Amino acid sequence: MSQELKFIACDLGAESGRTVLGLLKDDRLRLVDISRFPNGGVKVGESLYWDVLRLFDEMKNGIRLATHQHGADISGVGIDTWGVDFALLGPNDVLLENPHCYRDPRIDGMMEEVFTIVPKSRIYEETGIQFMPLNTLYQIYAVKKMNPWLLETAKSLLMMPDLFNFWFTGTKVCEFTEATTTQFYNPRSGTWARGLLDLLEIPSHFLMEIVPPGTVLGRIRTSIASDVGAKDMTLIAPATHDTGSAVAAVPAKGKGHAYISSGTWSLMGVESSEPIINEKALSLNFTNEGGVCGTYRFLRNIMGLWLVQECRRTWAQKGTEYSYSELAELAANAEPFKSVIDPDDVSFLHPGDMPARIREFCKKTNQPVPDHVGEVIRCALDSLALKYRWVLEGLESLMGQRIEPIHIVGGGTQNKLLCQLAANVTNRSVIAGPVEATAIGNILIQALALGHIHSLDEGREIVRRSFDVVTYEPRHDERVEAAYQRFKTLLPQ
């Protein structure tokens, strides 16, 4: 491709959002940061919401800046966001209520209540999705219990990226990678699990047609196009679940590797040509989320750097600001494996005083209680690395083979301590990078949809050619094994 092609990726994460311009020429991709903006739940009373109107306006502003700075000849625009959250639209496509954040307390106890109606094994057999209280299934069950009129009034249910796609183009669909995060999509039939919803007396008339990643959704509405300065701009659905886009950009060669998409969440897994749904996968609580080019992401969701983010926010509220690099340095100087936690313990799910929660977990499990800032962060990072090993062992057991290397992509690659810990604890080579994997994967799928590249392998070759990675080799640490054995005693039995 001798002509330079321009793509815009609007990438919304749970902590922040960004608009990125991708310049594709001569089989190399270059990224230009256009705009960045904060994200996060907005608390009103006891409820936690997303500020979707501001996010929509931030994306429009990013596209406007991109066209003004780099020209209006944009080949495509793609939006990706986190999973599980949704909006309900009523008559005339009115937003019935502001979309809730998946950490909203309304989800508390809903998963367990659903299990009294539909057995856990039945849900997994139909969906192959990891059980987490934040899944759309339990959120929508909470709506049924607390505000049933919303479901009765709703004409459309749109996942978060689908809502923004609709506002930009007028097209209402549900992109495949997002649909799979709901826990009411059946990967065997390739359709919504309406029978499961029927058992819970949840209507399904408002579910949209499911379309694959790489679907061209159409041109941006005329009113928006004139506002942003690009009258012929086309919007394409990439893998709209951000992890789906991030995994598309993993710079791996061939098969046999694992990946960790590292950010607010750590999503660790392998690519599979079909869903893996069996009793062992259920017992280990692995998930089958949609991928690109006919793949599934067989993985485990891990709480991730949310632990660090929430610690940092808590300390800032109390008057002390730390940068992420400062926190990593303090953690590097703290004693390794002094105390460990299960990062996925439900006590860490909601916003709040994370340092206090980490200390409380250590106290109730009869471990030394982390004192200073470095010890708290070290406890979180050590524990994430230990969880990576536990997940890796589960993957290898299910796949029947040794898995190496581990590719880490996303913002978490900037935490060098965590990357080295991952190598040490798993005893595997870790290849870290690229940082902006989600935006890169978003852009690659747009280019694939428009015929500018022709396969996922070709796209990954472009990633390898365009972006640097760092390899971390495992270093022996005699404390690891004892810490891992202690860690496993903390996990639910």
Active site (catalytic) residues? 242
CA distance 7 to 236: 10
Radius of gyration of the chain from its Cα atoms, rounded to whole angstroms: 22
63-79 CB burial, b ≥16 within 10 A, e <16: bbbbbeebeeebbbbbb
Cα 28–chain centre separation? 26
User: Which DSSP state fits 413?
Assistant: G
Helix (H) or strand (E) holding 37: strand 28-38
CA distance 51 to 54: 6
Handedness of CA 444, 449, 455, 456 (dihedral sign): positive
Helix (H, G, I), strand (E, B) or coil at 351: coil
CA distance 254 to 256: 7
Largest separation between any pair of C-alpha atoms in the chain: 64
**Where do the DSSP E strands lie in 363-440?**
406-409, 430-432
| Token pair for 233 | 């701009």
**Residue keyed to tokens 């406890």:** 379
**For residue 339, which of 357, 320, 319 has the smallest C-alpha distance?**
357
152-181 CB burial, b ≥16 within 10 A, e <16: eebebbbbbbbbbbbbbbebbbbbbbbbbb
Torsion angle, alpha carbons of 308, 314, 315, 316, to 10: 110
In sequence order, what are the beta bridge partners of 21?
A: 8, 32
